Chains A and B, each alone.
Chain A
Amino acid sequence: MWSELRGLKDEIDFGTPPRDGSPVTLDIDDVTVTVSAGSSVMLAAAKAGRAIPKLCASDMLEPFGSCRVCLVEIEGRGGFPASCTTPVVEGMKVKTQTETLQRLRKGVLELYLSDFPESEMVEGWSELHETLKAEGVASHPYGKGGANHFDAPVDASNPYFLFDPAKCIVCSRCVRACAEVQGTFAITIAGRSFESKVVASQDQPFFESECVSCGACVQACPSHALVEKSLFEGEYKHAEPAEA
């Protein structure tokens, strides 16, 4: 339980929390690595120096398995399991970079990109941007006229951060951070399928919701959909102090 918090490294994101458990040894792309039982294949891969691309995973949050970017192949198993939700097993042999995997990941990332504003691709430095770059995905084959969320209104009610649904990939990291890290449960996903969206409390502006403005959701967001206003010049500056 402790290592979940105490094993965190600032410069490394293991993807899932470190665990306390007996040692388990496995091979990731022919690199032998030993991790604690209960750890994910994703964590083992990060430890082996074979970090797997991911969007919905963070080592501060329990694994969720929604983004489908972290798929791997495991010898003797069918399909392409998500490495974040797959626990390590002694002697397991994992492949993280096969041609099939690269094709599958590219396909998933292109789908994300198809609903991400094109203008926001320039000079972006979020985890999503970095992942797209690393996987060599700069365009998608779905054209421009498809359904999207580009016009969803920005929630700038909180003086410190804003939420731009156009850039949201609905990975639930903010929802989980609010629940697991902060313990406030102010954020949820409303709707189903393409209508799914991040909402605060009863679909209220963040400032009027139960949100306590701890910043855990902003910290967790991989796409700068939730982002500090202080990082913008011009329009999105800090609001004036209320008493000024």
Chain B
Amino acid sequence: MPNPLKPEKSVVTTCAYCGVGCGFKAETRAGKIVRMTPWKEGKANHGHSCIKGRFAYDYYIAPDRVRTPLIRASIDDPWKPASWQEAFDYAASAFRRIQAKYGVKSVGAVSSSRCTNEEIFLVQKFARAVLGNNNIDNCARICHSPTQFGLTNTIGAGAASQHFDSILQADVIMVVGANPTEGHPVFGSLMKRRIRQGAKLIVIDPRKTETVESAHCKADVHLAIRPGTNVAILDSIAHVVVREKLYNEEFVRARCEVKEFENWKALVGSNKYAPEIIGPIAGVDSEDIRKAARIYASGPNSAIYYGLGVTEHSQGSTGVMCLGNLGLSCGMLGREGVGVNPLRGQGNVQGGSCLGSWPHVFSGYRFVTDYATRSSFEAEWGVTLDAEPGLRLPNMLDAAVAGSFKGMYIMGEDPVQSDPNQHHVITAMKNMECVVLHDLFLNETSKYAHIFFPGSSSLEKDGTFTNAERRVSRVRKVIEPLAGLQDWEITVKLMNAMGYNVAYNNPGEVLDEIARLSPNYRGISFALIDRVGSAQWPCNEDAPEGTEVLHIGKFPRANGLGAFMLTEYVPTAERTNDKYPLLLTTGRILSQYNVGTQTRRTPNSMWHPEDVLEINEQDAMARGLKSGDWVKLSSRFGQTELRAKISERVNPGVVYTTFHHAKSKANAVTSDLSDWATNCPEYKVTAVDVVRTNGRAAASVQEAERPRIEELEPVECA
């Protein structure tokens, strides 16, 4: 065998997969990417990588990548290739026509955490300054919106309190509703490193995940709760902290609102949250609840890491508040080795969250109703802005079903596959007169779109990502965009086509605009990142190179004090009964990423060719199932067919699947319940039943139902 060919060029950039945001060197030879190697100076990954970022990059040259804009008058027509200008003009005239007919607020936009900070900022600018309303949302809605709400109300900032490396100072690591070794593998490796050094591990998760037990890493306590009992179990842990006086009174008196602390103590300290009461409800041993509370409270440094298993519930925001309360009560905030940290799923969910891609706030979570903030944006953008908060994504879809919402610009999202209650989403899509989809590939949503903008992958554009530890890193263009334009250029040109004149020479100028308008980003620029590698916000005069640990000395609230929120447990309305006796919960697997748009187009699918339904042996036996059998999974909302896998990872009464493959239609089954505060869908709890079938009805067509571009009939452009 010959020696490998040496790459000719190397560009340092940031991985676009999960929220770890690893630094990579993209190496090219003859203009083609031949290797991605982890960047040793990347402060999030220190030269480590996972199967996705390291190897699964070939999706960018997948044969079905769309390389030209597509348009059509009706979703029943075939796609028609168009020039960029035709596509922009078509979209602009459609949006303007809809607004003239149905009102300014009949259209909106959705951005994605796959997008760069600059693109996310431009899409919300498009909604606010060009469409003239606040109908702008992003996919953090369906994952970490409760984080923003829950943490802001307790510790004052809806973001991770620590940097990743802080875990190396932790004595106790509590993982709640997350599976870092699969979902955030490089952080998972760092966590395991610390566990091997002797840190204790508490895991709260319905499933016996890879994090619970792997080589040289075993949880000291695993609370395998029934899905939907997060708040009960966290209140019960708090109960033990209160009753056994394990809290840090000195910290609470110095740093928190004491009256609220007393109120909280009275609530969680009441008998109804005693482990002996909650244990049977949550399906865990009451003594384990006590053990977890004692380990966490005794630290000395205890750090909480949590994921979508906390947020994607009808009490998602309450669950996040429980974690904030717990951190405050035990004084586990404001130094190295402690903290409350969301593990964000997508590369730029934090960016999506903090750059104003929300219907009610501008960047930095400042309300659109606030005159001073709005004025600063009006001065920069030269237009009058709407003071009324806009529609959230689920509300846009509801309004579309109702007939008052008619057009949408969707950048980098596939709501038909990823949002709950698929039938409802499809009805909404069909009701709209103009859906503009901006993506790399035709997807489930494109079936209902009128205009398709072929986007650029993160290897083809410049910008920045903000990872789960608030770290802003550079995305650098490695190769020229396949469809000719970088994503930020597409949004700018759409703005121009709609009559809003704005021009940027490069996305660094968009970042400068973000810095001018967003206090936390004030000091961040391409120049700074080029100099120091990456920087964590807040980055400003006081912290010119960024801030690693938040909440030292005070919390970013008006009075600087941490607040305790009352977290009464209210069981979800989604219940099991005779017809739907099992609880379905969902999760991720290492080799696939989210709805699989990228990873399914790479050999990563060799590891995970299909989603399977994990079921306990006891439940399988009762249904006459063996591993590999096709089963029908049905809920009150819909049904799908999957292959079963008998697994000890799930307890009796619980089934589990992943949602990486469109053909699995996992979200046809999930409920349309959502978080009381933020509308984040309750993906993690659905009452279901499982019965054996003869095989998936549509198994033979599978992916074939999605036409490849070269199979589309060429149509003359008008």
On chain A, the residues within 8 Å of B605 by CB distance are: 241-243
Is B309 positioned at the interface, with any CB of A under 8 Å from its CB? no
**Contact (A228, B35) CB under 8 Å given A8-B47, A182-B48, A212-B590:** yes
**Contact (A242, B606) CB under 8 Å given A2-B165, A216-B49:** yes
Q: How far is the CA of A178 from the CA of B600 in the complex (A)?
A: 25
Interface string of A118-130 (1 = CB under 8 A from B): 0110111110000
Is A66 positioned at the interface, with any CB of B under 8 Å from its CB? no
Is A10 positioned at the interface, with any CB of B under 8 Å from its CB? yes
Q: How far is the CA of A10 from the CA of B41 in the complex (A)?
A: 6
| CB-nearest residue of chain B to A178 | B215
Q: How far is the CA of A231 from the CA of B36 in the complex (A)?
A: 11
On chain A, the residues within 8 Å of B168 by CB distance are: 1-2, 5
Known: A2-B168, A8-B46. 6 other contacts (CB 8 A): A120-B1, A161-B55, A213-B607, A228-B34, A241-B600, A243-B703
Q: Are B3 and A120 in contact (CB under 8 A)?
A: yes
Q: How far is the CA of A207 from the CA of B34 in the complex (A)?
A: 21
Partner of B189, one of A160, A161, A181, A213: A181
Nearest CB on B from A199, distance (A): 16
**Contact (A8, B40) CB under 8 Å given A183-B196, A185-B216, A231-B35:** yes
**Contact (A213, B55) CB under 8 Å given A159-B606, A183-B217, A242-B606:** yes
| CB-nearest residue of chain A to B605 | A242
Q: Are B46 and A5 in contact (CB under 8 A)?
A: yes
Is B499 positioned at the interface, with any CB of A under 8 Å from its CB? no
Partner of A215, one of B1, B55, B192, B217: B55
On chain A, the residues within 8 Å of B193 by CB distance are: 180, 183
| CB-nearest residue of chain A to B27 | A231
Interface residues of B in 569-604 (CB under 8 A from A): 590-591, 600-603
Indicate the member of A184, A232, A235 with the most B CB atoms within 10 Å: A184
Is B477 positioned at the interface, with any CB of A under 8 Å from its CB? no
Q: Top 3 closest A-B pairs, CB basis?
A: A159-B603, A231-B4, A183-B192
Instruction: Report the number of A-B residue pairs with Cβ-Cβ less than 8 Å.
Output: 139
Classify the interface of chain A: helix, strand, loop or mixed: loop
Q: Are A8 and B41 in contact (CB under 8 A)?
A: yes
**Contact (A241, B602) CB under 8 Å given A219-B49, A224-B3:** yes
Q: Are B40 and A183 in contact (CB under 8 A)?
A: no
Interface residues of B in 684-718 (CB under 8 A from A): 703
Using CB atoms and an 8 Å cutoff, list the residues of chain B in contact with chain A: 1-7, 25, 34-35, 37-41, 43, 46-51, 54-55, 58, 62-63, 165, 168-169, 185, 188-189, 192-193, 196, 214-217, 590-591, 600-603, 605-607, 609, 703
Q: Are A185 and B215 in contact (CB under 8 A)?
A: yes
Q: Are A6 and B603 in contact (CB under 8 A)?
A: no
Nearest CB on B from A236, distance (A): 7
On chain A, the residues within 8 Å of B600 by CB distance are: 241, 243
Q: How far is the CA of A212 from the CA of B37 in the complex (A)?
A: 16
Is A164 positioned at the interface, with any CB of B under 8 Å from its CB? yes
Q: How far is the CA of A8 from the CA of B47 in the complex (A)?
A: 8
Nearest CB on A from B201, distance (A): 13
Partner of A124, one of B3, B58, B196, B607: B3
Interface residues of A in 2-59 (CB under 8 A from B): 2, 5-6, 8-10
Partner of B54, one of A184, A214, A239: A214
On chain A, the residues within 8 Å of B602 by CB distance are: 241
Is A190 positioned at the interface, with any CB of B under 8 Å from its CB? no
Q: How far is the CA of A119 from the CA of B25 in the complex (A)?
A: 29
Nearest CB on B from A1, distance (A): 5
Interface residues of A in 191-220 (CB under 8 A from B): 207, 210, 212-216, 219
Nearest CB on A from B301, distance (A): 13
Is A151 positioned at the interface, with any CB of B under 8 Å from its CB? no
Q: Are A123 and B48 in contact (CB under 8 A)?
A: no
| CB-nearest residue of chain B to A186 | B215
Nearest CB on B from A13, distance (A): 9
On chain B, the residues within 8 Å of A119 by CB distance are: 2
Partner of B51, one of A212, A219, A233, A241: A212
Could you list 22 A-B pairs, sorted by A, with CB under 8 Å?
A2-B165, A8-B41, A9-B40, A10-B40, A60-B46, A120-B1, A126-B3, A159-B603, A181-B189, A183-B189, A184-B215, A212-B590, A214-B49, A214-B51, A215-B37, A215-B49, A219-B47, A231-B4, A232-B5, A238-B58, A238-B603, A243-B609
**Contact (A242, B609) CB under 8 Å given A215-B49, A216-B48, A231-B34:** yes
Interface string of A66-77 (1 = CB under 8 A from B): 000000000000
Q: Are B4 and A207 in contact (CB under 8 A)?
A: no
Q: How far is the CA of A118 from the CA of B51 in the complex (A)?
A: 32
**Contact (A125, B6) CB under 8 Å given A60-B40, A183-B217, A228-B35:** yes
Q: Are A207 and B41 in contact (CB under 8 A)?
A: no
